[in-house]
Structure 1
Amino acid sequence: MLSITCAGFGGQGVLTAGLLLAHVSMVSGKEITWVPSYGSEMRGGTASCRLRIGDETILNPFFSTMDTLIAMNQDSVDTFQGAIAPGGVLISNSSMVKDAEFRDDIRVIEVAATEIAGDLKNPRGANIVMLGAAIAATGLVDVEEFADGIDAYFAKKGRSNPLNRECFMRGAQAAAEA
């Protein structure tokens, strides 16, 4: 079972990234829980979600240590890094996390997600870039299968954007090269 936290500030798509992770994992046959947490502000306040994903029934959605942290900003690294299990993975948005001190007992993957999304003309896609890095780093679901799941998720909502797939694949590539 994998315990994951997605964290950032409101407006960065943290909860959407968590929903995508939950939805595509569920469609691929995994058991999931998704617990959001956010401040009262619409944008700019803190936002996070915690997911448990596995092959067996999940009896408790809560956890004190996580396997993976997807951190969209510096505050998220500062707040949640200590709860990553030794040997766990921290995926850091290096576009927004500067000069951070990372633990030496975890794997750190720095991805310039905001810059990558901007270069691809999809500025709201930084969360999708980070999701690509997380899927590649954890091996939770096949990268291509997950990309297909993202396409299907947005198509069902009538918001198809081919740049989302490109963002996702660039994130996966960045993690593979790290």
Structure 2
Amino acid sequence: MREEIICAGFGGQGVMLLGRVIAQAALKENRHVTWIPSYGAAMRGGCAFCTVVISDREIASPYVDKCDTLFVFNQPSWDKFKAKVRKGGLVLFNSSLIKAQQPPRQLRIRKLPFTETAFSLGEVRVANMAALGAFLKEKNILKYKTVLDVFSEITPRHKLHLLEVNKKALEKGYRGW
């Protein structure tokens, strides 16, 4: 098993945290993992992205040319990364912020309102966890409980008040809209 993932959005949309949670959950489940963040000009409104590779075997190269799963949170990220998804790959697409047509090849696109879901929970910063819940349901690569455990472990003390709403967003994404 090898899963190559790209998480992309504006700086501040939680794409790095999303990738980190996936990577740490895979490690906790005794998989080989790489996680590579790329900030670029994200602090100035540009695209932030990270890649995660999960494998049952050692990973010789962390480079992701074509991914199996793309998390995409905004239009510029969609425009930049849509060609990087393998045929038959899964795209978890933030329909709250992206208006785009299906690309020319076969992809499994799930248009889901991550940002609207986060707003409905009263915290825009949890859109990434709604996306993660949808990924867990679609791919069945990581255990839901492992992800919950990892998120609880890595949440800093000064953000513990956000733990419950993040769990609600994860559950909402997992159970569907």
Q: TM-score, normalised by structure 1?
A: 0.90
Report the equivalent of 1:51.
52
1:1-178 correspondence to structure 2 within 5 Å: 1-42=2-43, 44-98=45-99, 100-103=100-103, 105-154=106-155, 157-158=156-157, 159-160=159-160, 161-174=163-176
1:148-171 Cα deviation digits (max 9, x unpaired): 3222321xx223221111101111
Cα separation, 2, equivalents of 1:145 and 1:37: 25
Please list every run of 5 or more consecutive structure 1 residues that lacks an aligned counterpart in the other structure. none
Seen in structure 2, the aligned counterparts of structure 1 residues 173 and 43 have a Cα distance that, compared at 3 Å, is: farther
Q: Deviations over 1:51-100 (max 9, x none)?
A: 101111111000211100000011111111111111110000010012x1
**1:23-78 CA-partner distances (Å, limit 9, x unpaired):** 12111211110111112452522100011011111110002111000000111111
Give the unaligned 5+ runs of structure 2.
Answer: none
Q: 1:120 to 1:136 in 2, by over 3 A?
A: same
Q: Read off the aligned partner of 1:101 and give its amino acid letter.
A: Q
Q: Give the counterpart letter for 1:83 in structure 2.
A: K
Percent identical pairs in the alignment equals: 33
Output the CA distance in 1 between the equivalents of 2:135 and 2:102.
17
Moved over 4 A (4+): none
